[in-house]
Amino acid sequence: MASPSASDQAKQGLSWMEWLQGWSRVIYELFFQRIEARHLKTPLPLPPLNDLTCIVTGSTSGIGLEIARQLAESGANVVMAVRNPTAAHSLIQTWQNETSSKDSLNIDVMELNLPSLESVVRFSETWDSLGKPLNVLINNAGIFSMGEPQKFSNEGYETHMQVNHLAPALLSLLLLPSLKRGAPRGIINVNSVIHFVSTVDPNDMNFVSGKREFSSLAGYSTSKLAQVMFSNVLHKRLPSESDISIICVEPGCARTKIERDVPKFIREVGYRLFSPVLFNAEEASRSALFAATDPEIPKYCAQLRCDEWPACAYISSSCCPMNPSNEARRLDVSSLVWQKTLDMVGLSGDCLEILLEGKEIQCSLELTLNRNGLY
């Protein structure tokens, strides 16, 4: 896409009315999420999942830990995609000791480091070499370096954008052949209501042009909006016969380790102040678990595609359908974010068709991928 087109269509910021509406939505989520979700049980009851294979990123703490544990205890084959395999193996042993079932939990561990796109490529190559079908990919891992200065990955990308959007997007695309074999199900992106207070400039997803001042909140919210926009385009471009659903979920405002970079004193004061309304990790895992296991979800996603709705499925923290922000539903900007994302992760514009056909694909990391391995 030409830069002038991107500049013309993308906004540099929200209007005051959009800003007010966005923050109203965030505040409402914080203070009323427990009321909205009062009909849900904790833990969320799950059906037997013995035929389900799931990859869960960031599953050694917080929401991801709860997702992985509950899926495994319901019989699913869970692949914990984590930075620290040792911690994952320790958790598995703990869960096995605590389970009432005589059968061993069906859990595998694979190393994945989202700050490195090369790690994402190697993970997908290793998985694909196993030849297994994949039913569900849950992109849960994320960071929010609250109050921290701007940082960049080894690939040169702003760290919130890479960990929360670029790496999961690359992982999702590279695993499409496996997801196609495991359909119907698909990709679940753990998103955030904070995307309501952001815009995305496809020409400045790194916050380096000087047009917008960087803050950790701006970096986090922009990455989450980019994730929704990319998901919307992927949802529309996937052929219906692939039976791959694309879903974003809002976990709710929860006490997790995503704010681990916040000074401990500030973090503890905030948690104590908002403790009555915050979800714990088990409560915050319900929307992702619902999206991964409810039999009506694939039908709902198919209906959205037939109705030509401008967004993929978005599930609230109360496990009900909701609309993402107005900005997220702008298909003109979403298409620019899609193309810019492909450029940043080194994939060609026709990568979707190539991957679904199981053909080899070139990546700018100077690694060649195909369904048989990495060369």
Asked whether the beta carbons of 157 and 206 are under 8 A apart, the reply is yes
Asked whether the beta carbons of 72 and 105 are under 8 A apart, the reply is yes
Rounded Cα–Cα distance for residues 124 and 361 (Å): 13
Rounded Cα–Cα distance for residues 344 and 346 (Å): 5
**Of 170, 88, 92, residue with least CA distance to 137:** 170
- Output the CA angle 294-233-217, nearest 5 degrees: 85
- CB neighbours (10 Å) of residue 83? 17
Does the active-site annotation cover 220?
yes
Active-site position among 220, 271, 300, 314: 220
- Output the CA angle 298-304-310, nearest 5 degrees: 135
Instruction: Give every CB contact of residue 69 below 8 A, 6+ residues apart in sequence.
Output: 91, 95
Write out the two tokens for 364.
């700018």
Rounded Cα–Cα distance for residues 301 and 291 (Å): 11
What separation, in Å, do the N-terminal and C-terminal C-alpha atoms of the chain show?
Answer: 30
What is the residue whose two structure tokens read 């035929």? Answer: 51
DSSP, residue by residue, 288-325: HHHHHH-TTHHHHHHHHHHTT-SS-EEE-TTSSB----
The kind and range of the H/E element at 137 are strand 136-139
The kind and range of the H/E element at 34 are helix 16-36
Asked whether the beta carbons of 333 and 9 are under 8 A apart, the reply is yes
Write out the two tokens for 78.
């869970």
DSSP, residue by residue, 76-107: -EEEEEES-HHHHHHHHHHHHHH-S-SSPP-E
Asked whether the beta carbons of 213 and 187 are under 8 A apart, the reply is no
Catalytically active residues, by annotation: 220
